[in-house]
Amino acid sequence: MKPIVVTVDTLAALAVWAVLALLAGMKAFGATASEPHIDQGAAIFASVCAACHAPDGNSLIPLNPKLAQQHPDYLIKQLTEFKAGKRVNPIMLGMAGTLRDDDIRNVAYWASRQKLVPGVAKNKELVLLGERIYRGGIQDRRVPACAGCHGPSGSGIPSQYPRLGGQHADYAVAQLTAFRDGLRQNSPTMTQVAATLNDREIRAVADYVAGLR
């Protein structure tokens, strides 16, 4: 097993992550928006979202993401961009298109309060490669460490950087591939990060992420 190299760039990225997390917490603490209506969010989720994402937000379909315990700001951003067509998915366009802004907010906050069911990494060889990329990046291709934005444990930072820990590997593979191939274009940062990753590296990162907690 090769040692994991943590470079100065990686340490700097982790420092940035810590600062952003602190600022996000301060922003949330000082927020003046009215409290979301969690009961309304639960009802909308049950009627609109549960068929694909499971009643508790822990999707049982590997290509559909787990939404439980995801940052509400991130969910609001994604649902809003599905509704506007900025993030392209015909099914989600139809689902999000039925929701008002308040509905989106209520659903997002309800989902964020559901407990995430942890996932597991399945491929020992791939998971070691995935760990090296997640924690140290790929220096010769200037691929930054995933931990710099998504945190060492995959907890993420609202609203740009989602929680990744425990997410389905199949879903993570699909999204990284879509970013790399230009099919998903609502995050320039992720498009740049994924641009030089090959299929094996994408599978490795996705498998490692699935087991993070």
Q: Which of 153, 201, 145 is nearest to 177 (CA)?
A: 201
Give CB contacts under 8 A, 24+ apart, made by 201-204.
Answer: 201/129, 201/133, 201/138, 202/173, 202/176, 202/177, 203/123, 203/126, 203/130, 203/169, 203/173, 204/123, 204/126, 204/127, 204/128, 204/129, 204/130, 204/133
Domain final residue, candidates 46, 80, 112:
112
Q: Return the higher-pLDDT residue of 15 and 206.
A: 206
Helices (H) and strands (E) in the chain, counts: 11, 0
pLDDT tens string 87-138: 999 999 999 999 999 999 999 999 999 999 999 999 988 999 999 999 999 9
CATH number at residue 166: 1.10.760.10
Domain count, the chain: 2
pLDDT interval class at 17 (50, 70, 90): low
Residue 29 lies in a domain: no
Give mean pLDDT, residues 191-205. 98
The pTM assigned to this predicted structure is 0.84
Give mean pLDDT, residues 16-39. 58
Residues 48 and 131 in one domain: no
pLDDT interval class at 4 (50, 70, 90): low
**DSSP string covering 128-155:** HHHHHHHHH-BGGGTBPPTHHHH-TTS-
Residue 184 lies in a domain: yes
pLDDT interval class at 13 (50, 70, 90): low
- Dig out the tokens for 108 from the structure: 């997002």
For position 34, what pLDDT does the model report?
75
For position 134, what pLDDT does the model report?
98
> Which of 22-31, 120-129, 187-196 has the lowest average pLDDT?
22-31
Provide the domain limits for residue 164.
8-17+119-210
Amino acid at 18: A
